[in-house]
Amino acid sequence: MSKYNQTTNEAVSWTRCCEVYISNELEQVPTIRFNEQKVVTIGGETLKQYAQFCGHTFNPQELIQILDIETGEPTGELIPHYKLYQIIYSLYIGVAKARDQGIKYTGINPPIFDTSE
């Protein structure tokens, strides 16, 4: 049986992280989960589908090798998990304070980080 509108095209596919979940339950070790998406571009159309996931528990002293976003190559920089945890905590506090003050979070907004209250 023939296939309706059959074409032969070259496809490009890759896997990407599409969602990140951090579990920071009280009195438990924080964990992070990365949900992946399979992406296929064929004939000018991009198709996306949820794929696998992977995860890890936070270990304050464990090091993360920083990769260049464009090339995927190591930059030579290493940061400990606690530094990532500190960055995420700081972002959360800034966004939450901006919400509570009814203002847009800009990252460097003195009222957001005013601890005098």
In which band, very low, low, confident or very high, does the pLDDT at 105 lie, cut at 50, 70 and 90? Answer: confident
Question: Minimal CA–CA distance to 66: which of 54, 80, 53, 56?
Answer: 80
9's CB contacts (< 8 A; 6+ apart) are 42, 43
91's tokens: 């972002």
Q: What is the pLDDT of residue 111?
A: 52
Domain borders along the chain are 1-58, 59-117
pLDDT tens digits, 26-52: 999 999 999 999 999 998 899 999 999
pLDDT at site 115: 54
Helix (H, G, I), strand (E, B) or coil at 77: strand
Enter the pTM of the model. 0.78
User: Residue 39 in contact with residue 47, Cβ under 8 Å?
Assistant: yes
Pair 93, 107: CB distance under 8 Å: no
pLDDT tens sequence across 47-58: 999 999 999 999
The pLDDT value recorded for residue 7 is 73
